[in-house]
Structure 1
Amino acid sequence: MSPAAGPATSLLEAVRARLVRDGAAPSPARVAAAVRAEGAVLGDAELLAVVRALSAELCGAGPLEPLLADPEVTDILVNGPEEVWVDGPEGLHRAARVRFGGEEEVRALARRLAAQAGRRLDAAAPWCDARLPSGARLHAVLPPVAPEGACLSLRLPPRGGMDLAELADRGALAPPAVRLLEALVQARVALLLTGGTGTGKTTLLSALLSLAGPAERLVLVEDSAELRPRHPHVVRLQARPPNIEGTGEVDLPQLVRQALRMRPDRLVVGEVRGAEVVSLLAALNTGHEGGSGTVHANAADELPARIEALACAAGLSREAAHSQLAATRAVVVHMVRGGDGARRPAQVCVLRRDGTGLVRAVPAVVVPAGGPPTEAEAFPDLADRVGTDWRRGRP
């Protein structure tokens, strides 16, 4: 086999399969070890050339490399060889100059990225949901699940956190809204950020955590490392998916329990979407002030139902779920995304129990696009907790 001609397909497949079995990231050293383990007899120079070729094949992202390097891109969606879409500040649009050579090249890239995550993607396992070593979230599907050809999506991790001033400069926050959010953090109220996918929940939560006092210890629990607070004392715990044999998983509920034993001043769950909601509710009710998390919800008033559904699936009764949610006294900040792609908070709500004992999210402040916050029904409740100085501004 000549290095110039590229590695044989059989060797490439054998090395890829070995790395997936081992659950190892395809670093040059591990690729070299896998080549040797396959019994290939090569000289040093030839081995180096083959390792380089295999590393490029196993690690590269091909036509997507320029998009991965763009700090403004948050999502990359590949629907076929000539259909690549990206999401960012301007909203979802087609990447006009990005093309693949054909369906097989898209499929090869999907398998390559799955191998990076130590996952299998082939006819027997035609879908993959995994986290790449870079922190990006990968989802890929192959035929016959995707009858028109392989599709993949990448949710890219934030390149760096922004503070509230930078969000204001981008037009996401008016000055009174900045002061209100600062007051929420300083009052150490529990915060739940809601919104749909891509509305900026994680970005805003990172900015709010950056406002915590430098003497406070932040313990972050995440499925994928996305929060980037600018803070001197941050401890990260990150979930781990099962390996190809289905073992070794470390899930969010386990990590939340561990985080509670790590003396957090603020416990943060990056995205609440499963049984970890029970541990988070318990944490917010046991003296851990200033805790926070994000929850997918299309509207702020849907939050109680969303929490109820997650908590009941995890074993709590409906009454217990609403009782614990009410006891958190959390403030809800709901995020939206406008037609122009701008992400911003639209409402700040407080939680109230109604006559049936169920919790409702009641608007306290409404934040119009580009305008100052206005008072709503539950404003007195919010004012009791954070004051009203934020309305007058700084001297």
Structure 2
Amino acid sequence: MDRIAASALKRLVRDNLALQLQESSDSSRVEAAIRSIVSETIRSWGMVVSIEDENLMCQCIVDDFLRYGPLQVLLDDPSITEIMVNGGGIDFEGASLSFRDPKVFVERAGRIEECAYVRFDDAEHVRRIINKIAEQAGVRCDESHAMGCAMLPGGRARATFIIPPLAPDGPALNLRLFSEHIMSMDDLIEKGALSTVMAKFLGAAVRARCPIVISGGTGSGKTTLLGALSGFIPAHERVITIEDTPELRLRAHHVERMQTREANAEGQGAVGMRELVALSLRRRPDRIIVGECRGAEAYEMLQAMQTDHPGSMTTIHANDPSNALSRLRTMVNYAHSDLGRDVVQQQIAESLQGGLVVHVDRMADGSRRVTSITAIDPMPEGSAVIPRAELFRFDVGGTDAFGRVSGSWRPCGVQPQTIKQKMIREGVQYDPTWFFST
């Protein structure tokens, strides 16, 4: 069956199905109706179609109605970590302007590749899938709300979408897929994300209630590392998580989750990250975990770390540990622009002293690694610079013939005295050899 005939058949089935079922939620009834309409249409058109092609067409239409259309086969593939549907651009050749067919890309093992065997009928087909995802999540998707973020049911993936007029090449969709398995620190060691010594030190730092900021770029593994670190939180401690979309998959025992909310159609009812951080302080948390600090909520997060919620954690987009601290300073200024640079620096230093900035990077071969662990020391009176000392570093050795990045971790020979005191005070084992051998 050629593509034009297949598209016409799918449109006809959609129209007939809408009339017959009137939005029925009974999946078995929908599937039976689709197969009946397809068979009847093929016979009435006098088409010669094999049983295999007819079954394939039925399955494609079933996926459109009940699942996520052409993307369903990708969502069912455990080797895929991200799906990217790009607008195909504007087609100027016809009598009127229209969009070219979208293109589909996937990420496997950290590498992006085009997925030519998965195709959408047209830009409107992508729009229907985006509308389905938005409706399931209860978020708006129209010209006045032309971009958004939503979770698929069950938390299996996070979707971000953008449509015209904000997307001049046509509707586009990204899906970040989450594994059903919550990664542990042992899993990360096995994958080569960090060394055993570094994992032991980080686990001890979490148990000793050291504040931790995980920095890195998009897709570098910040959230995965945060989830693995949560496995070291003692079972008796109460943890509150705050996110825009519920991505965190924690291994902690006692967890309460909070999620921000966008404004409704009347522009009311919005609840931001900053309000939830303030509310969480009154809900008896031992630790607060902010999925990602990227605005004024950084001020409340630092306040929580500084007061009676030590051991709180967050992630932040940054190029390196120094950039992470400067970005924190910028975000605090979002909340209090009247504060001077020295006051903000002092605030950050007091909140993070005895804590860590753990930086993760996505390598050229797609692998994710912890490339730096930096300790934050108390800020001397009169100083304008936040004292910090790098404890571990990943040295890149090069790339082999298969494109794999080689390298090794090495301790920097510096002991974090403030963290050492915290570990001793909390009864957590401290081993000075961590910082002199790998």
Q: TM class, shorter-chain normalised?
A: 0.7 to 0.9
Counterpart-to-counterpart distance in 2, 1:76 and 1:27: 29
Pick closer, same or farther for the CA change 1:118–1:215 going to 2, 3 Å.
closer
**Corresponding letter in the other structure for 1:166:** D
Q: Provide closer, same or farther for how the CA distance between residues 7 and 101 of structure 1 changes in structure 2, counting only shifts above 3 A.
A: closer
In structure 2, the residue matched to 1:366 is 393
CA distance in 2, matches of 1:390, 1:28: 61
Q: Which one of 301, 304, 311 corresponds to residue 332 of structure 2?
A: 311
Cα 1:392–1:103 shift into 2, 3 Å = closer
1:391 aligns with 2:391: no
Aligned residues between the structures: 360
Counterpart in the other structure of 1:28: 25
Rounded Cα–Cα distance in structure 2 between residues aligned with 1:171 and 1:139: 29
Q: 1:111 to 1:359 in 2, by over 3 A?
A: same
State the Cα deviation string for residues 347-387 of structure 1 (Å, max 9, x = none).
Answer: 11123548652425542322346534311567555555554
- Aligned amino acid, residue 243 of structure 2: E
The question of 1:375 aligning with 2:399 is answered: no
- Kindly indicate whether structure 1 or structure 2 has the higher relative contact order, using CA contacts under 8 Å at least 6 residues apart: 1
In the other structure, the counterpart of 1:327 is 350
From 68, 88, 103, the equivalent of 2:123 is 103
**Aligned with 1:97: secondary structure?**
coil
Identity fraction in percent: 34
Q: Deviations over 1:284-310 (max 9, x none)?
A: 111212111111111111112101111
Q: Does the alignment pair 1:296 with 2:353?
A: no
Distance (Å, rounded) in 1 between the aligned partners of 2:230 and 2:192: 20
Secondary structure at the aligned position of 1:230 is classed as: coil
Residue 94 (str. 1) matches residue 101 (str. 2): no
CA deviation after TM superposition for structure 1 residue 49, in Å: 6.3
Q: Deviations over 1:83-130 (max 9, x none)?
A: 2112242322222421112233223323333333334434x3372212
State the partner residue of 2:82: 75
Distance, in Å, in 1 between the alignment partners of 2:318 and 2:68 is 33
| Structure 1: 5+ residue stretches without partners | 16-25, 32-44
Secondary structure, in 3 states, of the residue corresponding to 1:182? helix
| Equivalent residue, structure 1, for 2:370 | 345
CA distance in 2, matches of 1:62, 1:111: 12
| Partner SS, residue 111 of structure 2 | coil
How far did 1:246 drift?
2.2
Instruction: Check the 8 A contact 1:57/1:112 in 2, yes or no.
Output: no
- Contact 1:363/1:378 (<8 A) preserved: no
- The answer (yes or no) to whether the contact 2:158–2:247 under 8 Å persists in 1 is no
SS of the residue corresponding to residue 271 of structure 1 reads: coil
Q: Deviations over 1:306-354 (max 9, x none)?
A: 0111110112513332222111213110111111111111111123548
On the 8 A contact 1:118/1:244 being kept in 2, the answer is no
In 1, distance between residues paired with 2:331 and 2:434?
Answer: 36
Match of 2:162 in 1: 141
| Cα distance in 1 between the residues matched to 2:435 and 2:254 | 32
Q: CA deviation at 1:28?
A: 3.2
Distance (whole Å) between structure 2 residues aligned to residue 262 and residue 233 of structure 1: 13
Q: 1:290 to 1:390 in 2, by over 3 A?
A: farther
Deviation (angstroms), 1:250: 1.8
Tell me if structure 1 keeps the 8 A contact 2:147–2:163.
no
Q: Hey, what does 1:217 align to over in structure 2?
A: 238
Determine if the alignment matches structure 1 residue 130 to structure 2 residue 127.
no
| Match status 1:185 vs 2:206 | yes
| Structure 2: runs of 5 or more not aligned | 1-10, 38-60, 89-100, 397-406, 424-429
SS in 2 for 1:209: helix
**Distance 1:361-1:142 versus aligned 2 partners, 3 A rule:** same
Q: Hey, what's the Cα distance between the residues in 2 that align with 1:380 and 1:118? A: 49
8 Å Cα contact 2:415-2:435 kept in structure 1: no
Q: Which residue of 2 aligns with 1:36?
A: none
CA distance in 2, matches of 1:384, 1:347: 22
Matched letter for residue 150 of structure 2: R
Which residue does 2:41 correspond to in 1? none
